[in-house]
Every structure is written in structure tokens, then in C-alpha cells.
């Protein structure tokens, strides 16, 4: 289990005519944090694909929306990573507004490790598995 946080600013592109952040934008924010967590560990997805034909693919997700984020809000997207089997990782993630530390949304995202050519499940690389636990 590792903990990681990534800041996200809300722009117009993330909002909708309800005046708040559009419900799928939060899910994009979750992925940015997962991507930056990988990068902080020394992995970039484009290299993993180019060099090892390894792709991460979202298998399932669950989101709970507690309170809306708004234009110009600065958010913290947090995650903990939990290996579930040899070929997938489950991320527990939260989106917190920095100004008052209120949790606006929380989610659980299961990501499978796939071969980018065959799209078949692939065992997570050992050096990556070590980082997860």
C-alpha cells in the first residue's frame, strides 16, 4: 500500500452548465493521479507500451459524489494502490478541496495489466509489484 497525492486545478473545460464540475471530469482527475503516481515511481505509460507492450486498462470503477467542485477550485487527488491478483491493481482514491479539506468525491478503480498487442492479461512486472505492496 502506498499513498500519493496530486493537485488538480478546475478549468472551464471541466465544468458543465449546472455550474459545477461535470461528473465524468472527476474520473479523468483520478487517472491523472494514477499516472503521476506511476511517473513518481519511475514509470511512464508510453514507455511501458513502447518497450514492454504493456498497457493499463480500467476494468471497473465505482464513484461516490459527495459535494460539487467548482471553477477555479484547487483539488488534491489522493490514492492508495492495492494489488489484487497478479495482473490487476485496485486504487482507492479521493478528491479533496484544498481550501477546506472537504472530500468531494471518492472512488475505487480496478486497473488490469494487459499486453498491448493481444489485449490479454499480463502479470504485473516484478519490479512494479514490489512498489505496490
Shortest CB 131 distance to a copy of itself, Å: 18
Instruction: With residue 46 as reference, give the H or E element that holds it.
Output: helix 45-52
Can you point out the beta strands (E) in 44-101? 54-65, 74-83, 88-97
**Interface positions, 55-84, toward a copy of itself (CB under 8 A):** 55, 57-65, 68, 70-72
Determine if 45 is a binding residue for a copy of itself (CB under 8 A): yes
Shortest CB 72 distance to a copy of itself, Å: 4
How far apart are the C-alpha atoms of 92 and 26, rounded to whole Å? Answer: 14
How far apart are the C-alpha atoms of 73 and 23, rounded to whole Å? Answer: 15
Determine if 31 is a binding residue for a copy of itself (CB under 8 A): yes
CA dihedral over 57, 84, 24, 43, signed as positive or negative: negative
- Which cell numbers in the block locate residue 27? 474520473
- Which cell numbers in the block locate residue 42? 519511475
Tell me, yes or no, if 73 is annotated catalytic.
no
How far apart are the C-alpha atoms of 67 and 64, rounded to whole Å? Answer: 9
Shortest CB 75 distance to a copy of itself, Å: 14
- Identify which of residues 34 and 78 has a Cβ nearer to a copy of itself in the complex: 34
Q: Which of 16, 50, 72, 127 is catalytic?
A: 16
Determine if 116 is a binding residue for a copy of itself (CB under 8 A): yes
The residues assigned a catalytic role are 16
**Which chain residues interact with a copy of itself by CB under 8 A?**
9, 11-13, 15-20, 22-24, 27-28, 31-32, 35-36, 39, 44-47, 55, 57-65, 68, 70-72, 116, 119
Amino acid at each position: 500500500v502506498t499513498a500519493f497525492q496530486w493537485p488538480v486545478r478546475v478549468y472551464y473545460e471541466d465544468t458543465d452548465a449546472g455550474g459545477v464540475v461535470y461528473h465524468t471530469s472527476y474520473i479523468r482527475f483520478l487517472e491523472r493521479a494514477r499516472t503521476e503516481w506511476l511517473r513518481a515511481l519511475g514509470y511512464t505509460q508510453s514507455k511501458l507500451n513502447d518497450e514492454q507492450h504493456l498497457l493499463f486498462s480500467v476494468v471497473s470503477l465505482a464513484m461516490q459524489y459527495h459535494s460539487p467542485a467548482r471553477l477555479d477550485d484547487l483539488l488534491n487527488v489522493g490514492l492508495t494502490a492495492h494489488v489484487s491478483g497478479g495482473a490487476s491493481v485496485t486504487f482507492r482514491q479521493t478528491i479533496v478541496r484544498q481550501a477546506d479539506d472537504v472530500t468531494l468525491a471518492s472512488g475505487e478503480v480496478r486497473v488490469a495489466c494487459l499486453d498491448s498487442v493481444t489485449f490479454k492479461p499480463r502479470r504485473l512486472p516484478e519490479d512494479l509489484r514490489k512498489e505496490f505492496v
